Amino acid sequence: MDKDFMASTVLSGIRVLDLTRVRSGPTAVRQLADWGADVIKIEIPVNLEADGALGASRDSPDFQNLHRNKRSLTLNLKDEEGISVFKKLVQNSDVVVENYRPDVKERLGIDYESLKACNPRIILASISGFGQDGPYSKRPGFDQIAQGMGGLMSITGEPGRGPMRVGIPIADLTAGGNGSIRLCFRHRCSCLIFRRLAGCVLGKYRDRQGTIIPPASPRVSLKLLTGRSTWQWQEKRSGVVLLKPSVRKNG
């Protein structure tokens, strides 16, 4: 196979500035790094946020796995000098990825319009719990919140014992995975693969902005329409077979 089309090199020549934290954002950027992008992770000074304050500590296997194949730089984005250095990096980058609450990037002066003034070709990828606008947009979003409000917990666990969180951070992992795929394939004039292989110049093009709301599952729709708990509906009514605990001879 031609090395230019191997998965590990397909994004070589693409520079990504990683402002993400916790899991959903780092998952997205990790995939870009695995595909060969030059990723620079912007880290918060330890005097402003202790190591491991949000998520695993930097020496843990989980952190090292999430941030593999990345370089790092510590910047205080609340300081004018730190913002100045960051915007100089933006001038020679292709993508900025962040998962702050939407109002945070406005306060820091790193919203899309501010970044575009530094580099008209820049792509800003934002991951947030409740979208970039709307009544809940300023709320922080975590995996367990998405599982609970999305209805996933209501079909996990055992009837009569209450909702249960899925064992892995499925909402964060899905958001991150979808984010990386969207960056690479969303639109040929902004996607990274097209830019890498065809040399597309973004110019004044601006991708559609807004919040994408995926179709709700039947159980979520049922709850919204009737107010009835999904536990009240058995598998024959819902059309979906639910796996249940089962007893074995060995206990």
Q: Which token pair is 177?
A: 């995975």
pLDDT higher than 90, residue 39: yes
Kindly list the structural domains of the chain, giving each domain's residue range(s) and its CATH number in brackets, ordered by start.
3-214 (3.40.50.10540), 215-251 (no CATH)
* pLDDT band at residue 114 using 50, 70 and 90 as cut-offs: very high
pLDDT at position 30 is 94
Burial status of residue 1 (CB atoms within 10 A of its CB: 0-12, 13-18, 19 or more): exposed
Name, in order, each residue with C-beta under 8 angstroms of 87's C-beta and a sequence gap of 6 or more: 110, 114, 115, 118
Catalytic residues: 172
User: Using one digit for the tens of pLDDT, what is the confidence trace for 210-242?
Assistant: 333 344 444 544 455 455 555 544 444 444 555
Backbone angles phi, psi at 157, to 5 degrees: 100, -160
Question: Cβ of 160: how many Cβ atoms within 10 Å?
Answer: 6
Question: Torsion angle, CA of 127/125/178/164, rounded to 10 degrees?
Answer: -10
DSSP 111-151: SHHHHHHH-TT-EEEE--SS-SSSTTTTS---HHHHHHHHT
Q: Residue 243: what pLDDT?
A: 56
